[in-house]
Amino acid sequence: MALTGDGRLVDDKFVDGCRRVTILGATGSIGTSTLDLLRRNPDGYAVEALTAHSDWQGLAALAREFRAAYVAIGDERHYQPLQQALSGTGIEVGAGAGALVEAAKRPADWVMAAIVGAAGLEPTLAAIERGVVVALANKEVLVCAGDLVLTAVKRSGATLLPVDSEHNAIFQVFDFAQVGAIEKIILTASGGPFRAASRAQMAQMGPAQAVAHPNWSMGAKISVDSATMMNKGLELIEAHHLFQLPQEKIDIVVHPQSVIHSLVAYTDGSVLAQLGSPDMRTPIAFTLAWPARMASPSPRLDLAKLATLTFEEPDPIRFPSLRLTREALAAGGSAPTTLNAANEVAVQAFLENRIGFLEIAEIVERTLETLPNEVPESIAHIHICDRRARDAAMAFIDRPSVGQRAY
Ligand code: NAD
Ligand code: MG
């Protein structure tokens, strides 16, 4: 099994008994869906640690409900109220970046990495270094430091299970014993809320329209990434690392219904796909129960009712993020780190109404053009590249020339 650090396919200790789980990013969309599944399976899982960034009330309520042993709040300003809210419960409380890493180091045998952005890198790595099962939703971790993360997986013997619906689909139909027989993988993309919009129409779109995804209910950042199609570009890089394939073997096809979650094409002409309703509880349940299966309440597919599934070529002219991510992956080195950091900064600025929709990709492109490409040799080096890209992107946001580029 390629994603298992030491080549294990099945580890018996995960089949029976109660799993201790930790959720990094427990208050978010993925975290909430994970907890929904745990709530339905109270005998199968016990919660070790939960984390959140600023929603200390939500975190306190979850900690009490699931009787967590430890909670960590990223924003240290919320330490006091969180601690007060949990006083007398015996639940340990931590705050700040170190506490997020501490949560990941706690003795869980399954960790959900569902923080958004590069902020999840250190906690996710801490979980990986413990050699346990890590369910990875936080794709930015692989985009910004894929080679180093995969090296850590191999070194520790951790099992990395993809949560992202496309990668989870591929994982389910990818024959790891016959990688040579795999011609290519095909990532499906919904096309997002602006799939049929012209560039002129996109220029008028604000945060409310961009986060209104037609099929999926998700956090704000990934929703904007879906609207720019940067999400699919990040997923291309994620797939490259997870399945160890060159980008020439990774295709993207727009499939507006989000029913086929992705496909693997074999040399004999067979194409295997995984289908399901667009509900993240299906891929999360796959990772929670792995290598077994568990029940999920996701709506069932009614193929006759669906009647039609459609497919389109992606358009890299209207969605320059698709081109930028392919270029960054081809350039290698720190280019994906730079792309990811600049995108995080630009998406945040867009959500704050400081830049227009089309300027997101433009800022990413300018940042990539401006900064030197280096080969990141350590996580500390990744942080330097990430910081530099954030600073450069912020400078472009504050500069009035943004918005002048024609695509
Ligand atoms: P979200 O915004 O709903 O939740 C993010 C979580 O991370 C929250 O618990 C938040 O408190 C925490 N967080 C945010 N910033 C943080 C920081 N700086 N430090 C520590 N914690 C922080 O996001 P989401 O939609 O749940 O997505 C989480 C990750 O999963 C993202 O990487 C996203 O790309 C990926 N993903 C999400 C979906 C989906 O359907 N939501 C699907 C596939 C992949
Ligand atoms: Mg996805």
The confidence score (pLDDT) of residue 216 equals: 84
223 lines ligand 1 (CB under 6 A): no
Q: Averaged in consecutive runs of 10 residues, what is the pLDDT profile of the chain (407 residues)?
A: 44 64 98 98 96 98 98 98 98 98 97 98 98 98 98 98 98 97 98 97 97 91 98 98 98 98 98 98 98 97 96 97 98 98 98 98 98 97 98 91 51
Question: How many angstroms separate the alpha carbon of residue 172 from the centre of ligand 2?
Answer: 15
192 lines ligand 1 (CB under 6 A): no
The confidence score (pLDDT) of residue 22 equals: 98
Radius of gyration of the chain (CA): 21
Question: How many angstroms separate the alpha carbon of residue 162 from the centre of ligand 2?
Answer: 10
Ligand 1, atom 36: closest residue by C-alpha: 137
The confidence score (pLDDT) of residue 8 equals: 42
Give the pair of three-digit tokens for residue 382. Answer: 């990744």
| DSSP code per residue over 15-60 | TSSPEEEEEETTTSHHHHHHHHHHHH-TTTEEEEEEEESS-HHHHH
137 lines ligand 1 (CB under 6 A): yes
Ligand 1, atom 25: closest residue by C-alpha: 219
162 lines ligand 1 (CB under 6 A): no
The confidence score (pLDDT) of residue 17 equals: 73
74 lines ligand 1 (CB under 6 A): yes
Core vs surface per residue 56-86: b (16+ CB within 10 A) or e: bebbbebbeebebbbbbbbeeebbeebbebb
Ligand nearest to the CA of 225: 1
The confidence score (pLDDT) of residue 213 equals: 85
Question: How many angstroms separate the alpha carbon of residue 29 from the centre of ligand 1?
Answer: 7
Question: How many angstroms separate the alpha carbon of residue 114 from the centre of ligand 1?
Answer: 5
